[in-house]
A and B are shown apart, each in its own frame.
Chain A
Amino acid sequence: EPEVTQTPSHQVTQMGQEVILRCVPISNHLYFYWYRQILGQKVEFLVSFYNNEISEKSEIFDDQFSVERPDGSNFTLKIRSTKLEDSAMYFCASSAGGVHEQFFGPGTRLTVL
């Protein structure tokens, strides 16, 4: 069964460093998303991406964040200058065209020291 994959599974970084989280969505899906879950809190929407542009973003997704689909298979989330409060589980998701059902990857645990 097709699935969303994410790398790395765990990323440790120093405050102020740039990180890139990688995702490979399901191959025939057209919509791509990033969510995060801070420990003990709910899953929060960050950004949705369709047709090579951002279609929606939350207040969390400020200028420190960016997304890119550099080729036909990868979808990345970049945090330019990480802060301690960026420590969270980051989930990538994808969906087929025009439907709400999103399929999530296993997540990347980001730890900012």
Chain B
Amino acid sequence: DQQVKQNSPSLSVQEGRISILNCDYTNSMFDYFLWYKKYPAEGPTFLISISSIKDKNEDGRFTVFLNKSAKHLSLHIVPSQPGDSAVYFCAASPPDSGYALNFGKGTSLLVTP
């Protein structure tokens, strides 16, 4: 039951350009969304989050956009840096769930010099 979908398994971007990672969800009860970054042999690292009452949240080079009507969110990284190369996971949580996170399968981002 894939409630959070990341349809692009991989993305390649040149250093300095914008990286846009996309995520779709099916459960309209989700009210909180998060992005995590993961390097090989490490656990997911929290990047940025957004509540369903907002449509945008920004933190430095990272911005998350939420389109509730389309059940779609995206993560923008600008400017992209080689150190951003990692797997990015979208996650969502419904209310009253003990904060259980539903993860997408991830998008592998490669930022080339």
CB within 8 Å of B: which residues of A?
Answer: 4, 31, 33, 35, 41-45, 48, 50, 55-56, 58, 91, 93, 95, 99-107
Contact = CB atoms under 8 A, between A and B. Distances in A.
Interface size class of B (residues with CB under 8 A): 20 to 34
Q: Give the interface centre of B45, B93, B99 by most chain A CB atoms within 10 Å.
A: B99
Contacts of B106: 42
A69 to B, nearest CB: 15
Interface in B63-113: 89, 91, 93, 97-106
Interface string B10-48: 000000000000000000000010101000011111100
B12 to A, nearest CB: 21
9 smallest CB-CB distances across A and B, nearest first, come from A56-B98, A104-B43, A55-B98, A48-B98, A43-B103, A45-B100, A42-B105, A100-B32, A104-B44
Contacts of A107: 42-43
7 contacts: A41-B105, A42-B103, A50-B98, A58-B100, A101-B46, A102-B46, A106-B42
A106 to B, nearest CB: 5
Contacts of A95: 99
